[in-house]
């Protein structure tokens, strides 16, 4: 611009140079010694722009240096142009330094905000870690409770199976012993009847020659046979009556056999059911407490969100960057809160599922208790049936024993009469 305008004469006067060094402004100490690459590019471009001007000035001075009249004026003109360019360059550098200072201040504020944001995020992550740890501990507790309930259920099943097998084994042993005793009694009675028949046949064969003496004995034997047939008919009638009585006893007699064992088992099952119901009530109470916690956290988060929104309202309309960052921070805070609420809801649903599963186990145990009660009633009825059958067999054996004693008494009388008849014949 100096080459196109007129230059006043005072511009060519000699100016004294300052002897004291210039002091740097106080804001220069805040500028870092190492400039960013962008600033170095700006200085290099400025130095490149100055180089062609200095080269042109040297060419003009060398071209016009031969003229003696223009030499002094051209030197002063070139010096003034160089000074004006240096002043303009210094002003540009000062503007650039002020701009760099403003950028440094903005970067410091940004780094401070980022530091505060990182601290808040670290606190949020720590709170989330504590919540996750608490949720894991609660899940482990529920898994332990379910494992305990499963162990109790398996123990109940094993105990019921062992008791049922023991009852069946005892019933089978008792039935086999009763059958064996009945067979032994029948074989002994058959053997005794065979012996009696043999003794009667031998007596008839030996006394066949004495018809008169043995006629009475034959009549008595015939009478004995008739009595035996009548006894057999009476025995069959008694067996029929015993069968009817057994059926009547199986229908009318109340269950009293092994009642104490089944009552203790029933009491144990009722205690187990009561304990599971108490566990269910405890889990229900825990679910209600978790619901209260969720509501409290929701209320607290709403209050904190309102307070945060009130604090981050922009006081100056010339700060859109700060407002945008605050809005982004508020948005992230809402996302974290939503994730925490989703996690709490998932824990609540899982807890509810565990409670429903425990309810199903309690219902299954109650149904099994009822089924075992019905099986117990059936076994009691069958035991009563077997007891009545044993009693009938005992009565049958007693009747047969009485008949046998009567037959032996008749035989003894017949032998006595035979002996008396022999003595009379000898006389």
Instruction: State the chain's maximal CA–CA distance in angstroms.
Output: 213
The model's confidence at residue 339, banded by pLDDT at 50, 70 and 90, is: confident
Copy the structure tokens of residue 178: 């009763």
pLDDT at 27: 41
Q: What angle do CA 383, 387, 390 make, to 5 degrees?
A: 140
pLDDT at 40: 47
Q: For residue 106, is pLDDT > 90? A: yes
The model's confidence at residue 265, banded by pLDDT at 50, 70 and 90, is: low
Residue whose tokens read 């008396």: 420
Copy the structure tokens of residue 294: 């969720």
Contact (Cβ atoms closer than 8 angstroms) between residue 257 and residue 380: yes
pLDDT at 206: 57
Q: For residue 33, is pLDDT > 60? A: no
Copy the structure tokens of residue 284: 């229900």
What is the end-to-end Cα distance of the chain in Å, rounded?
Answer: 193
Q: For residue 15, is pLDDT > 60? A: no
Which of 99, 81, 71, 94 has its CA nearest to residue 2?
Answer: 81
Spatial distance between the Cα atoms of 236 and 399, rounded to a whole number of angstroms = 11
Spatial distance between the Cα atoms of 271 and 265, rounded to a whole number of angstroms = 10
Q: What angle do CA 328, 329, 330 make, to 5 degrees?
A: 90
Summarize the confidence of residues 49-62 as an average pLDDT. 50
CB atoms within 10 A of CB 230: 10
pLDDT at 185: 67
- Which tens digits make up the pLDDT trace of 107-144? 999 989 999 989 988 898 989 888 888 888 888 888 88
The model's confidence at residue 102, banded by pLDDT at 50, 70 and 90, is: very high
User: Structure pTM?
Assistant: 0.25
DSSP conformation letters of 175-214: HHHHHHHHHHHHHHHHHHHHHHHHHHHHHHHHTSS-HHHH
* Residue 97 CA to its chain's centroid (Å): 66
Domain edges within the chain:
36-62+72-113, 142-192+216-251+259-308+322-415
Summarize the confidence of residues 357-364 as an average pLDDT. 76
Contact (Cβ atoms closer than 8 angstroms) between residue 139 and residue 350: yes
Spatial distance between the Cα atoms of 285 and 171, rounded to a whole number of angstroms = 48
The 3-state DSSP class for residue 330 equals helix
Residue 47 or residue 117, greater confidence: 117
Summarize the confidence of residues 17-45 as an average pLDDT. 44
Q: For residue 421, is pLDDT > 70? A: yes
Q: Which residues of 269-289 are buried (b: 16+ CB within 10 A; e: fewer)?
A: beebeeebeebbeebeebbee
Rounded to 10 degrees, the C-alpha dihedral 310/311/316/318 comes to: -100
pLDDT at 310: 67
- Which tens digits make up the pLDDT trace of 204-224? 565 555 556 555 555 665 665
**Lowest mean per-residue pLDDT among 43-52, 67-76, 86-95, 376-385:** 43-52
Residue 290 or residue 413, greater confidence: 413
Q: For residue 323, is pLDDT > 90? A: no
């Amino acid at each position: 611009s100096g080459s196109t305008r007129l230059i006043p004469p005072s511009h060519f006067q000699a100016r004294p140079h300052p002897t004291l060094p210039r002091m740097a402004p106080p804001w220069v100490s805040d500028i870092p010694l190492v400039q960013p690459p962008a600033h170095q590019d700006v200085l290099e471009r400025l130095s490149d722009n100055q180089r062609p001007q200095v080269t042109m000035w040297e060419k003009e001075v060398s071209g016009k240096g031969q003229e003696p009249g223009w030499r002094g004026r051209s030197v002063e003109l070139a010096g003034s142009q160089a000074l004006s360019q240096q002043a303009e360059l210094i002003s540009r550098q000062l503007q650039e330094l002020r701009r760099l200072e403003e950028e440094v201040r903005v970067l410091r504020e940004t780094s401070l905000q980022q530091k505060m944001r990182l601290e808040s995020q670290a606190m949020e992550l720590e709170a989330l870690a504590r919540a996750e740890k608490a949720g894991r501990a609660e899940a482990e507790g529920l898994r332990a409770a379910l494992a305990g309930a499963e162990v109790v259920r398996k123990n109940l099943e094993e105990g019921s199976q062992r008791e049922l097998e023991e009852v069946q084994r005892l019933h089978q042993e008792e039935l086999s012993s009763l059958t064996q005793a009945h067979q032994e009694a029948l074989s002994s009675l058959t053997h005794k009847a065979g012996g009696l028949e043999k003794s009667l046949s031998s007596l008839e064969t030996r006394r066949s020659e004495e018809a008169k003496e043995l006629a009475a004995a034959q009549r008595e034997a015939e009478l004995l046979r008739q009595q035996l047939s009548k006894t057999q008919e009476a025995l069959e009638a008694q067996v029929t009556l015993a069968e009817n009585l057994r059926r009547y006893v199986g229908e009318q007699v109340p269950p009293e056999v092994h009642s104490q064992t089944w009552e203790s088992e029933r009491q144990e099952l009722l205690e187990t059911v009561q304990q599971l119901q108490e566990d269910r009530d405890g889990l229900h109470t825990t679910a209600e407490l978790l619901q209260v916690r969720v509501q409290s956290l929701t209320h607290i988060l709403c209050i904190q969100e309102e307070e945060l929104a009130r604090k981050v309202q922009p006081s100056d309309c010339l700060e859109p960057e700060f407002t945008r960052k605050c809005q982004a921070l508020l948005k992230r805070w809402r996302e974290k809160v939503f994730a925490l609420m989703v996690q709490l809801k998932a824990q609540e649903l899982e807890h509810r599922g565990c409670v429903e599963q425990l309810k199903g186990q309690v219902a299954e145990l109650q149904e099994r208790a009822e089924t075992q009660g019905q099986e117990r009633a059936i076994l009691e009825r069958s035991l009563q049936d077997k007891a009545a059958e044993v009693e009938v067999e005992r009565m049958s054996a007693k009747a047969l024993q009485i008949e046998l004693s009567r037959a032996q008494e008749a035989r003894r009388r017949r032998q006595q009469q035979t002996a008396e008849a022999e003595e009379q014949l000898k006389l």
